[in-house]
Chain A
Amino acid sequence: MTGPRLNVAWLYADLMSIYGDRGNVVCLVRRCQWRGIDVAVREIGIGDELDPAEADLLFIGGAQDREQRLAADDLLARKAEPVREALASGASALAVCGGYQLFGHEYRDAAGTVLRGIGVFDLVTEPAAPGARRIIGNVVASPLLPGCEDAPNLVGFENHGGRTRLSVGAQPLGRVLHGGGNNGEDGFEGCVAGRAVGTYLHGSLLPKNPWLADWLLQAALTRRHPGYELPALDDTLELQARESAERRAYAAG
């Protein structure tokens, strides 16, 4: 009998990978390998087809403005439908920073360019008010992900100019305890829509927040293997790193 199978689709791995985004993919792959899950990562770039039946877990990272514009056009033109289809048929997704913005309805950058997103999340992103700074620094957020409210606080590092505003009724990922979050004003960080998670946190996000990595994996594996339950891993070091990052956030700012 072979182990369970999982396909990760990494969108724009070449264009949209910044500030250690790759660490999230490394984390997902290792946590599968340690459990005997047969995991494969496919990088899906500009012009490539995304097969919604194959992709169990979608990942998209952040980028600088120029690369983000290039990716945005392709995402809207070629990937919007397959992404929605994959999510509707049980895939999970993680969108970080620039990818998070493009998974909303619209992103306006500081130069006034308007990028249409693919609307997985019910949110829009605006540029910072003139004179306002980028939001940069350590973040601590208590989880609001339904069913995971008691999980350890999320830790990460944010670095974004855009201010993201959720529509009324959209589900935030967390409540900010330290840092800026979506817009530095309303106290929310990230967004959840079904099995899709969007966030500004890198650092990388998943290695120090292993419960979220496992939530994404569990959701994605259920699609191909109903009833499958992820075996537990020894996360002592992960949790120590999380605690040390949280302490450092309050000490260093």
Chain B
Amino acid sequence: MRVTLAILLGKLVGWLSRATGRGGGTSLPGRVALRVCPGLDARLAASLRRGVIVVTGTNGKTTTCKMVAAILRRAGFQVVRNVSGANLRQGLTTTLLAGAGLGGRIDADYALLEVDEAAVAHALRPLRPIALLVSNLFRDQLDRYGELSTTAQRLAESIAADLPDDALLVLNADDPLVASLADMGSGRPVFYGIDCVARGLTEADHASDSHECPGCGTPLTYQIRYGAHLGLWRCEGCGRSRPSPDLTVAEAALQADLTERVRLVAARADGASATSADALEASLKLPGLYNVANAAAAAALTLALGVDPPRVREGLESTSAAFGRLERVGMPDGKTAVLMLVKNPAGLNEVTRLIAESGEPRPAMIALTDEIADGRDVSWIWDADLERLDGRVGRVVVSGVRAHDMALRLKYAGMDMGSVEIIADTRAALARALDLAPAGSQVYVLPTYTAMLDLRARLHAEGLVPAFWEELE
């Protein structure tokens, strides 16, 4: 009775906050329901046919969850998911409420919950997950959570205290801090990692802060380095090294059409060397090594849950990027526009690295705007390594209200200005870039935020892309 009342009230509050547009719909229903029935979240979690999966880490949570959900659904399971940001106990309860019937049961196999690394305790204690996945711990969380080591320490403590012993603990072997979470003695560790020398950093590493062994504090040495502190690491001090992965990315090759061909190899339980029967090949729509790692994480988790490899492959291959993040738009002329949102120097560097790696120089359209949502200051373009584009991109059409600033940046990056044109209107600029591309090929489109909204709205009016809200779950 109390359970039914809590669920009813929670759902009512959720409906009211959506209907009145007052917001709070992601945490208020959970708060109200927990007030009425304090153990409701644990009870709902226990009613799932399979159980709760928690995904945490600094980067890649949303993409990894998208992939895991796609795989599980292809394997015939029903999955409920939370909205990123609804992290704390009330928010997680709201997610469970949405899937619950008034009888106090959730008609689903799995609840897949994306949780900030600093909020994991909120999920582990009441929900008793059957699996916890930790992707990586990066330093860019300093401002939000204090020192990185503090975040790792709290995560380790909550794993030790609250992760059930029979739960899967899926860990990125390439991240020394994450890998060390296996030492807590809770859960059954499953490691994934990347073994691709060809994708390691060749240029001198700019990450100047040294990365110390989580065990003894000695600076780590790296056989391969994939960026930041990720790679094939080893401590000369205490002899710790990157654990041998249960699932290894043996190959990852960026293709000319900006897909990634990956080969994942599962280690044999008996320690024998893997054969081709243990390999799974897939073509990812999401390029870049960080997405390869997300795919490996999703595959390691779902394979450990017993999903058949063909379903894993289908799920990985069907996952596409969020709106504008790497969105392929088929144009009426048979060519493809690849939309890649750029908002800051780090993001622009990621995109230029992808363009440089993809080999064939293709035309590009770059739109620079300075509306409030973009930031009025466009000086950030001088902090990005556009020098890398020289010789690696075809003709460039620059656009947007600050087009001249971008053209100037390209001039000082060493580009031949005979191959750069300025067209103020973004749709006209895209049309021009498409004209410059050979039949059937692709053009890169790099807009800032408001330029992306503007361009996408116009492509939507032409029936070429869905409105962005139609893509939200």
Which A positions have Cβ atoms within 8 angstroms of B? 14, 17, 19-23, 26-27, 30, 136-138, 157, 159, 202-204, 207-208, 237-238, 240-241, 244-245, 248, 252-253
Assess the A203–B370 pair: CB atoms within 8 A. Answer: no
Q: Measured between alpha carbons, how far is A207 from B376 in the docked complex, in Å? A: 18
Assuming the contacts A207-B412, A237-B411, A252-B370, asked whether A245 and B379 have C-beta atoms less than 8 A apart, the reply is: no
Of A157, A202, A241, which one neighbours B407 at CB under 8 angstroms? A241
B473 to A: closest C-beta gap in Å: 36
Chain B residues, Cβ within 8 Å of A159: 377
Q: Measured between alpha carbons, how far is A248 from B403 in the docked complex, in Å? A: 12
B410 to A: closest C-beta gap in Å: 10
Q: Can you list 24 contacts pairing A with B, beta carbon distance less than 8 Å?
A: A19-B377, A19-B379, A19-B380, A23-B379, A23-B412, A26-B382, A26-B413, A136-B376, A157-B377, A157-B378, A159-B377, A202-B379, A203-B377, A203-B378, A204-B382, A207-B409, A207-B412, A237-B404, A237-B407, A241-B404, A245-B404, A248-B370, A248-B401, A252-B371
Chain A residue at smallest Cβ distance from B413: A26
Task: Verify if B408 is at the interface (C-beta below 8 Å from A).
Answer: yes
Q: Measured between alpha carbons, how far is A207 from B403 in the docked complex, in Å? A: 14
Chain A residues, Cβ within 8 Å of B167: none
Assess the A137–B408 pair: CB atoms within 8 A. Answer: no
Task: Verify if B402 is at the interface (C-beta below 8 Å from A).
Answer: yes
Q: Measured between alpha carbons, how far is A19 from B407 in the docked complex, in Å? A: 18
Q: Measured between alpha carbons, how far is A21 from B408 in the docked complex, in Å? A: 15
Chain A residues, Cβ within 8 Å of B256: none
Assuming the contacts A237-B404, A244-B404, A252-B370, asked whether A157 and B379 have C-beta atoms less than 8 A apart, the reply is: yes
Chain A residues, Cβ within 8 Å of B381: 20
Q: Measured between alpha carbons, how far is A244 from B399 in the docked complex, in Å? A: 13
Chain A residue at smallest Cβ distance from B345: A20
Assess the A244–B377 pair: CB atoms within 8 A. Answer: no
Digitize B172-204: 1 where CB-to-A-CB distance is under 8 Å, 0 elsewhere.
Answer: 000000000000000000000000000000000
Which B positions have Cβ atoms within 8 angstroms of A? 208, 370-371, 376-383, 401-405, 407-409, 411-414, 417
Q: Measured between alpha carbons, how far is A136 from B414 in the docked complex, in Å? A: 31
Assess the A208–B408 pair: CB atoms within 8 A. Answer: yes
B170 to A: closest C-beta gap in Å: 37
Of B208, B370, B383, which one neighbours A22 at CB under 8 angstroms? B383
Chain B residues, Cβ within 8 Å of A137: 376
Chain B residues, Cβ within 8 Å of A208: 405, 408
Chain B residues, Cβ within 8 Å of A17: 383
Chain B residue at smallest Cβ distance from A253: B376
Nearest 3 CB-CB pairings of A with B: A23-B382, A20-B379, A20-B382
Chain B residue at smallest Cβ distance from A240: B404
Assess the A241–B370 pair: CB atoms within 8 A. Answer: no
Do most interface residues of chain B lie in helix, strand or loop, or is the interface mixed?
helix
Q: Measured between alpha carbons, how far is A132 from B423 in the docked complex, in Å? A: 40
Chain A residues, Cβ within 8 Å of B380: 19-20
Chain A residues, Cβ within 8 Å of B379: 19-20, 23, 157, 202-204
Assuming the contacts A20-B383, A22-B382, asked whether A241 and B376 have C-beta atoms less than 8 A apart, the reply is: no
A204 to B: closest C-beta gap in Å: 5
Chain B residue at smallest Cβ distance from A18: B383
Assess the B383–A26 pair: CB atoms within 8 A. Answer: no
Q: What 10 additional pairs, Cβ within 8 angstroms, besides A157-B378, A237-B408?
A: A19-B383, A20-B380, A21-B382, A27-B412, A202-B379, A203-B377, A237-B407, A244-B402, A248-B401, A252-B376
Chain A residues, Cβ within 8 Å of B401: 248
Assess the A241–B382 pair: CB atoms within 8 A. Answer: no
Q: Measured between alpha carbons, how far is A171 from B417 in the docked complex, in Å? A: 38
Chain A residue at smallest Cβ distance from B401: A248
Chain A residues, Cβ within 8 Å of B413: 26
Q: Measured between alpha carbons, how far is A19 from B380 in the docked complex, in Å? A: 6
Chain B residues, Cβ within 8 Å of A30: 412, 414
Interface-centre pick from B379, B407, B412 (highest chain A CB count, 10 A): B379
Q: Measured between alpha carbons, how far is A179 from B401 in the docked complex, in Å? A: 20
Chain A residues, Cβ within 8 Å of B378: 157, 203
Chain A residues, Cβ within 8 Å of B409: 23, 207
A246 to B: closest C-beta gap in Å: 11
Assess the A138–B405 pair: CB atoms within 8 A. Answer: no
A33 to B: closest C-beta gap in Å: 9
Interface-centre pick from B208, B371, B405 (highest chain A CB count, 10 A): B405
A63 to B: closest C-beta gap in Å: 14
Q: Measured between alpha carbons, how far is A27 from B408 in the docked complex, in Å? A: 10
Assess the A207–B408 pair: CB atoms within 8 A. Answer: yes
Chain A residue at smallest Cβ distance from B406: A241
A242 to B: closest C-beta gap in Å: 8
Chain B residues, Cβ within 8 Å of A136: 376-377
Chain A residues, Cβ within 8 Å of B404: 237, 240-241, 244-245
A123 to B: closest C-beta gap in Å: 23
Of A14, A26, A253, which one neighbours B412 at CB under 8 angstroms? A26
Q: Measured between alpha carbons, how far is A74 from B378 in the docked complex, in Å? A: 31
Chain A residues, Cβ within 8 Å of B417: 237
Chain B residues, Cβ within 8 Å of A202: 377, 379
Q: Measured between alpha carbons, how far is A23 from B381 in the docked complex, in Å? A: 9
A177 to B: closest C-beta gap in Å: 17
Q: Measured between alpha carbons, how far is A202 from B380 in the docked complex, in Å? A: 10
Q: Measured between alpha carbons, how far is A237 from B408 in the docked complex, in Å? A: 7
Q: Measured between alpha carbons, how far is A245 from B407 in the docked complex, in Å? A: 13
Assuming the contacts A137-B376, A252-B376, asked whether A241 and B405 have C-beta atoms less than 8 A apart, the reply is: yes
B152 to A: closest C-beta gap in Å: 23
Q: Measured between alpha carbons, how far is A159 from B413 in the docked complex, in Å? A: 25
Q: Measured between alpha carbons, how far is A207 from B208 in the docked complex, in Å? A: 29
Interface-centre pick from A20, A138, A207, A240 (highest chain B CB count, 10 A): A20
A211 to B: closest C-beta gap in Å: 15
Chain A residue at smallest Cβ distance from B417: A237
Chain A residues, Cβ within 8 Å of B382: 20-23, 26, 204, 207
